[in-house]
Amino acid sequence: MNSKEKLWILTAQCPSRLGTVDVVTRSLAETENYVVAMNSFDDRATNSFSIRVEFRPQNGDASLQKLREIFTERAAGFNMDWQITEPEHRTRVAILVSKYDHCLNDLLYRYRTGELAIEIPLIISNHPDLQHLADWHGIPYHHLPITPDTKAEQEAQIWKLITDANCELVVLARYMQVLSPEMSAKLDGWAINIHHSLLPGFKGAKPYHQAWAKGVKLVGATAHYVNDDLDEGPIITQGVQAVDHSHYPEELVARGQDIESQTLAKAVRYHIEKRVFLTGNRTVVFPD
């Protein structure tokens, strides 16, 4: 169980301008909200400013109410898009998966132990194979088969399930289907995908076997937001591990799956802890 102190989080993003840090910290101080940790970044490439503050109200609800009143007016003057997240908030996550179970297993373990502050109201799959995992955790499992002729109908069902469950995040935990441009557009910025990262970029079936045949020396994984560019959305985090000639294809697969699981879990955690800010097709990510 995570014993870390639970704090309120204020996040804000706006065009770069003198006084952005001051308006945030001054508003917190004047309303008796104690700053515990703060990260900020001014992106010269996009002329945008991002800030994340963990804070503790010194006077309970009164401090928070004063902060919301004062900061609403001040942030408007900076054209800030901002949000305050309460400590007990648990992000509602829909998980999409196919047959590979390693990423799903890892997320369910972290959910069960409380390492990830999430609720999982549903798991959606185009195969029935992982029903038992969902049943063991008491999570509804929706088997939605798909063919080229039924893709639009199947995605409409997925969208309805996600929205009906009031999900705030969608995680593609090795969901082996290419989303349509329409579905990708709907999920832009709030769906996370995971895939292997190998150099060269091996395409098609059995990428780790292809990598072994070429004698790769690194295996890795990339977690990124979904957009209409296949596997090329804004990157949240990546993982990598060195390998050598002694690792056979099966060992590369096992190591790759471990990295995929860890990298996806880290990306989900960064997202739910409000550490990720989108700036065009790039991300600002504040680490722990």
Residue-wise pLDDT tens digits, 161-176: 999 999 999 999 999 9
Q: Say whether both 35 and 121 belong to one domain.
A: no
Q: How far apart are CA 283 and CA 288, in angstroms?
A: 16
Strand pairing class (81-85; 91-97): unpaired
pLDDT band at 179 (very low <50, low <70, confident <90, very high): very high
Q: What is the pLDDT of residues 1-53, one digit of tens each?
A: 455 788 999 999 999 999 999 999 999 999 999 999 999 999 999 999 999 99
Among 22, 52, 85, which residue terminates a domain?
85
Q: Say whether both 156 and 244 belong to one domain.
A: yes
Please check whether residue 225 lies inside any domain of the structure: yes
Q: Say whether both 116 and 143 belong to one domain.
A: yes
Domain count within the chain: 2
The pLDDT value given to residue 228: 78
> Mean pLDDT over residues 119-148, rounded?
97
Among 51, 85, 119, which residue terminates a domain?
85
Please check whether residue 148 lies inside any domain of the structure: yes
Q: How far apart are CA 153 and CA 147, in angstroms?
A: 10
Q: Which of 188, 228, 231, 258 is catalytic?
A: 231
Q: What is the pLDDT of residues 70-122, one digit of tens each?
A: 999 999 999 999 999 999 999 999 999 999 999 999 999 999 999 999 999 99
Among 32, 54, 85, which residue terminates a domain?
85
The pLDDT value given to residue 1: 45
The pLDDT value given to residue 231: 66
> Mean pLDDT over residues 217-243, rounded?
90
Alpha helices in the chain, H assignment, sequence order: 20-30, 60-76, 102-113, 131-137, 151-164, 181-187, 207-214, 249-272
- Transcribe 234-283 into DSSP letters: PEEEEEEEE--TT--HHHHHHHHHHHHHHHHHHHHHHHHTT-EEEETTEE
Q: Say whether both 54 and 184 belong to one domain.
A: no
Please check whether residue 1 lies inside any domain of the structure: no
| Largest Cα span, the chain | 64
Indicate which CATH number applies to the domain containing 147. Answer: 3.40.50.170
Q: Say whether both 144 and 51 belong to one domain.
A: no
Q: Say whether both 277 and 163 belong to one domain.
A: yes
The pLDDT value given to residue 280: 84
Asked if 47 contacts 16 with a C-beta cutoff of 8 angstroms, the reply is: yes
Q: Say whether both 76 and 145 belong to one domain.
A: no
Torsion of CA 160, 143, 151, 161, to 10 degrees: 10
Q: Which residues constitute the domain of residue 48?
A: 8-85
Residue corresponding to tokens 């006084």: 19
The pLDDT value given to residue 200: 78
Q: Say whether both 123 and 34 belong to one domain.
A: no
To the query of whether residue 188 is one of the catalytic residues in this protein, the response is no
Q: What is the pLDDT of residues 184-198, one digit of tens each?
A: 999 999 999 999 887
The tokens of 134 are what?
Answer: 């969902």
Q: Say whether both 135 and 277 belong to one domain.
A: yes
Q: Say whether both 126 and 161 belong to one domain.
A: yes
Indicate which CATH number applies to the domain containing 22. Answer: 3.30.70.260
Q: Say whether both 80 and 115 belong to one domain.
A: no
Q: How far apart are CA 29 and CA 85, in angstroms?
A: 18
